[in-house]
Amino acid sequence: MTHWTKHPARLNRNFGGKRFGDEGYALEELVAEIGSCFLGAYLGLTPMPEEHHSAYIQTWLRVLNNDKRLIFSCASYAERAVQYIKGLNS
């Protein structure tokens, strides 16, 4: 759901990612994962880690190590996405 909000007709979020492993892709994946956690908490769902998450974590760590404040930006984008999704139910 969080990925869905990046479309230009919704929140128009574009980090320039084209393929797995590049910085833009990693940022969008991090926003989506944080958004997933926010939505899951809102809906009362229990997290279910999957094996493929470790591959994503490696790309997140690379971009996060380059900018220590980036996690806050990603969380902010995720929060906006969640608010957008929640607003659809109004």
Q: How far apart are CA 54 and CA 3, in angstroms?
A: 19
CA angle (25 as vertex; 87, 68 as ends), nearest 5: 85
Q: b or e along 40-61 (b: 16 or more beta carbons within 10 Å of the residue's beta carbon)? A: eeeeeeeeeeeeeeeebeebbe
Q: Each residue's pLDDT tens digit in the chain (90 positions)?
A: 999 999 999 999 998 867 776 788 888 988 998 999 999 999 999 888 777 777 777 778 888 898 889 999 999 999 999 999 999 986
pLDDT for res 11 = 97
> For residue 69, which phi and psi values (nearest 5 degrees)?
-95, -5
